[in-house]
A = this chain, B = another copy of it.
Amino acid sequence: MEKILLGHGSGGRIMHTLIRERLAPVFGMETLNDSAVLDICSKGRIAFTTDSYVVSPIFFPGGDIGDLAVFGTVNDLAVSGADPLYISVGFIIEEGFSMDSFERILASMAAAAKRAGVKIVTGDTKVVDKGKGDGIFINTSGIGIVKDGISLGPDKIKPGDQVIVSGAIGRHGISVMAERNGLSFDPPVLSDTAPLNGLVDIMLNVCKDIKMMRDPTRGGVATTLKEMAFESGLCIQIEENMLPVTGGVRGACELLGLDPLYVANEGILLAIVPAESVESLLAAMRDNETGKGAVRIGAVVDPESINKTSGSSAAGTVLLRTAIGGSRVIDMLAGEQLPRIC
């Protein structure tokens, strides 16, 4: 079986051959220069993002580290209100990694880029000695154009705004954990990894006044809601019985001792939207494959309106109204629940 050698990262002939013959053709790269030169039409502002992917295992039900890396960066741009255009890719490969697996990942990235409508334009390959990495790590950075007339941010959020989620939660984290632990569910829990830029387009066409969007990846829905509450200084109240959790995820969470609110997602978004647009947004989202599970899960409330049983302010907090009528404060993931989930 062909393997990655240290020399594949050395800058010399075999690295050039790898890039010229295997990597560039798969991605349709036009240049092998160190920089890609891009004609970006000048009307807009540019969004720029980066993420490294260290998920273990690298292949999991519903996806792999390759499409995850492309969709993850596409989604960071999309939820910031930008049209993703160009992606860079940096590989850090462990010596001895299977060339077949590498090519499978390249093909997966190329297919993901095509699906998301972005172009992988520049890249880099490094190889580390055996035992100093873990198969493959991938960094993707991305450039997008900020959509005209769109302004998203925590300062836009007001009491009365509604919170929607675009699909069932916790699927990515559970699919990776299941694969890692040799568990299989029937039906299998598939990662939700998917590009969100198409869905965001649809949403912004329906409602230009969406307040804020985020994709709840590491740390899950709970952590992302907490960030939104913290940054807006308001209180977000969600309803446990409105949370979309599939039976498979619920069962796996019980088995593994996890809370689906803290489990990573890779193909859903949270949006805070004006109350009057909720129904039209949900209807439009459900017409799209990526948004067909979209539901409202709660609302933004004035922190002053919350009974302060403990005497502390509800500003910046997330409250979960439980199925049995109680209320619990949702904090960020405190330490480590699911290492290397993305």
Interface residues of A in 60-96 (CB under 8 A from B): 76-77, 79-80, 82, 86, 88-92
- Whether B139 lies near A52 (C-beta < 8 A) is yes
Size of the A side of the interface (Cβ < 8 Å), in residues, is: 81
Q: Is A25 an interface residue (CB 8 A)?
A: no
Residue of B nearest to A11 (CB): B218
The residue that A335 contacts in the complex, of B10, B36, B46, B53, with Cβ under 8 A, is B10
Interface residues of A in 3-45 (CB under 8 A from B): 5-7, 9-16, 33-43, 45
- Whether A10 lies near B143 (C-beta < 8 A) is no
Q: How far is the CB of A80 from chain B (nearest CB, A)?
A: 4
- Whether A334 lies near B143 (C-beta < 8 A) is no
- Whether B92 lies near A137 (C-beta < 8 A) is yes
Chain B residues positioned under 8 Å from A52 (CB to CB): 90-92, 124, 126, 139
- Whether B76 lies near A49 (C-beta < 8 A) is no
Number of copies of this protein chain within its complex: 2
Q: Is A229 an interface residue (CB 8 A)?
A: no
- State the majority secondary structure of interface residues on A: mixed
B-contact bits for A129-140, CB 8 A (1 contact / 0 none) = 101111001010
Q: Is A298 an interface residue (CB 8 A)?
A: no
Docked CA distance A77–B264 (Å):
35
- Whether A49 lies near B9 (C-beta < 8 A) is no
Chain B residues positioned under 8 Å from A51 (CB to CB): 34, 90, 124
Interface residues of A in 258-283 (CB under 8 A from B): 264
- Whether A43 lies near B42 (C-beta < 8 A) is yes
- Whether B45 lies near A37 (C-beta < 8 A) is yes
Task: Report 17 cross-chain contacts, Cβ distance below 8 Å, ordered by A residue.
Answer: A7-B334, A11-B220, A12-B334, A14-B334, A15-B219, A35-B47, A36-B47, A36-B48, A38-B46, A38-B47, A46-B46, A50-B89, A51-B90, A52-B90, A88-B141, A131-B131, A132-B133
Q: Which 10 A-B pairs have the closest CB atoms?
A: A42-B42, A11-B218, A12-B333, A11-B219, A141-B141, A50-B88, A139-B139, A7-B335, A35-B80, A34-B76
